[in-house]
Amino acid sequence: MKLKKIITGVVLVPIIYIVGLVAHTIFQYKTNAGRLVKDMKAAGQIEFLTLDAGYSEGRGPSGEELDETEEPEEKPRYIGSFPVLDSRIIDDSDTIALMLDGLLGETGGEYPECFWPRHAIKMVGEEGRYIIICFECSQYRIPGASDGYPNPEKEAILNQIADNLGMKRAPSPFEKGAGTTGDVAVE
């Protein structure tokens, strides 16, 4: 009987530890995403960025290939590995709430392999704290947190805010002539 209790304990303790570790990790990731949104709202200002996901490192802001032997006059800005088309500081609390409230959905699960984000929201003055959003494949990514599903209703809101601010926006990569130069589709 005593041996049975010892064997049961030896088997159960690692299982309980692993389940607890997994639960802690999931909770921490969800908490990190939630904390980022809470911190962004509390800061009173965020940076809203539009991205050109049709291009990646090694290309200029208009999609031209960069000559690796020469430095470009104006080095393109990237967030993650995606070139920034345009950005604005938002300091209106109602606009920030409209952008962030309900933006982040469930985390975890299976995601498509594509990731062509066209929106990002960043903490002002904090390089590693941002959300990159792809509504095409319904994913968001946050450094140090788990990936998740954005609220699809927020795409129209973010696009309208970008348009109201006169920001350049890349067309959907799935529109005819995927790829962009600035804010114009290339066929």
* Residue from 43, 25, 30 nearest 121 by CA: 43
**What percent of the chain is predicted at pLDDT more than 90?**
32
Letter string b/e over residues 82-98, b meaning 16 or more CB atoms within 10 A of that residue's CB: bbbbbbeebeeeebbeb
* Residue 122 φ then ψ, to 5°: -130, 145
In this prediction, residue 183 has a pLDDT band, given cuts at 50, 70 and 90, of very low
Burial, 158: exposed, middle or buried (Cβ in 10 Å; 0-12, 13-18, 19+)?
buried
pLDDT surpassing 90 at residue 19: no
Domain boundaries, the chain: 2-185
Across all residues in the chain, what is the average pLDDT? 75
pLDDT surpassing 90 at residue 94: yes
Residue 173, pLDDT score: 61
